[in-house]
Structure 1
Amino acid sequence: MDVVAEAIEKAAKNSDKYRSIQVEKLIELEYDLGTLLASDTNELNVKGIRSDKEKYLMSLARDNTQLLFNKLWELPTETVEDAVVVRLPTPRYVLPREKPVPKPKPLTKWQKFAKEKGIKKTKKAKLTWDDVLKKWVPLYGYKKASAQRDKDWVLEVPQNADPFVDRFADKSTLKKEKVAKNEYQRLRNIAVAKKIKIPRVGVLPAEKPGTDQLRTAANVARVSTASIGKFQPRLPREKSSVSADRALPGVRKRKLPHMRPTEEKKSNMNIIDSILNKRPKLDVEKAVNKQIFREQQEASSEKKKTQGKGKKRSTFGNKKGKGAGKRPGAKPAAGKGKRNKVGGRKRR
């Protein structure tokens, strides 16, 4: 009996340590088990807050948590791999967002055009029948390219085109240009969607930039100052460019200086006269020089023709050079020998 009394006494002491799982509230809590949320709408005890704030809040939190767990244990349980689990219902409470709702992405050029024209996207078949090859060909992929090569093994040369131009190379170049254009459009749409400011001019990055790209980049950097490069000091050994503006595509033309009404009218009339008349400016001196040169050319050509009409002398032994046209054994003419002459008359 002493043992039983001792056990009862011990259980009573333990019961004093742990609070009951049954909690009574004047107004029942609102539960959202999907988000594990319990909302307590009961009034707070002002006296308890003033006497011991921390103890009151801890007690209130414990009671509300106990009620939430009581509701969870009412849900149907399952055993998964020796563990008891509960499937939570669908959440009903809408949690507030930390950040604003994302705005929809802006439409691309094609999407805007399709929306205005009422074009709807239709799902296409992946294979199409080719009447030339007599088989099903995919719309894209490596099999499409191989089928295209089998189909276009010969290309027709237009009537007025150059027959020595490689049509296959032109076709390949055109395809690469289309691919590059599509890639450019794709990148531009991404930049518009992400609101990235694209510079009006500039140089695209490259692994090995060429001389022209480096020169263009230097000119762009020079005119990127507030004074448009007017007061920018030159670097040592820097070559002076004819015009830095030429390296900038899309730069506006310089405005003409302000003129008086009479001067402006005169310049406009000169432009109109030059357009309407379209008379070439004649350089008299240049025309005379051309005519003289042409006459000299004609005279020299006629002279060559008349010299070539004379009878040619026959050569002995088909010799060429100084001895041509002389018979063998002939004596050289007087005074034309190869010996060094001494001053005075030759004696016999």
Structure 2
Amino acid sequence: MAACSIEDVLAKAEKDEAERLKSITVQKELDLEFDTGNLLAFDKNRVDVRDFKSTSKEEFLRSLARDNTQLFINEVWKRPTERIEDVIVVKLPEATTPLPREKPPPKPKAPTKWEEFAKLKGIQKKKKTNLVWDEVHKEWKRRWGYQRAKDDTKEWLIEVPVNADPNEDQFAKRNNAKKERVAKNEFNRLKNIARAQKLPTPGGGLVPTAQQSKAELTQAINVAKASTASAGKFQESLPKEKAPRNTGKKRKFQPLIGDFTDERQKQLDILKVLGSKKPRIDMTKAVNKQMREDDRESASNARKGPGKKGRKGNMPGKGRGGFKGKGGFSGKEGFSGKGGFSGKGGFSGKGKGRGRGKPPKGQQQNPRSKPGKR
């Protein structure tokens, strides 16, 4: 191993120190373009192909990024600075490079009901002035807000109208009217939002009337009675007052303390039923189910019954309608008898129908021959 001289060691140390502490001055053929508002720097210098191929790509890109970053930092510190809580900060200018949005632009708001009406009628919105003339104070005042003109909240006296009740509080009436206007505006705003999102909006609801109906008064009385601490148990009733209907069934709970014999017996009965292998059948329920199935089957057969063809229908014979009348499946031979579905009502019918029936013994009928009329 060759011995290293002191000069070589010192030269290497100086080189490493110079590499670690590079100069803040960087020379470029073309100056970089900066947009300090967006913290951007654009390098338009061409890449030296020889340096790129002679060194590794990582080293070349790291050196290029270091030089450009140094130039950008130098440009940033040319801006005015200020101290905020022992920290020096730079005031950045307005951005000059338009950048795309991170999210899509917001959709335009859906027009309200009044805006649609105004557009349909061609009503133009007129801008009002902020100042109006106040006749009381003889000066110009704001139209809205603090110290506005015609501020009714500052009045200490209100004239009672001619047709109004003299004992009515006009201040309370004015406050109630304002509350109603505010509530109406809020309701209309929510309706516009629901219309924009295509949600079902409720109707106008019940309009308050001056006089309540009998049903409303009865409901109010029942609610007032049940609103006491005893749930209306000790409330007296009028002489001819009817008991309220559809009040619901009151639940009865078992006592938490005391004798538990009934509770024990109920639990034993449940365990006995669960442990029994014999199926438990509710005869009343089973009979009702069977009757419903029979009725359903009878109705289905009635709907699928033979219809009418021409004047006489599928089943020759006379009748007044439905399955009632003469005819049916009866015949002189074979299906002999007075009507197939005989009986009183329902599918009953009298009379003999026309048909070939079954030939007597000893006579063979040609299956291809067409039957003639008798």
The TM-score with structure 2 as length reference comes to: 0.38
Higher helix content, 1 or 2: 1
Looking at both structures, which has the greater relative contact order when contacts are Cα pairs under 8 Å and sequence separation is at least 6? 1
The TM-score with structure 1 as length reference comes to: 0.40
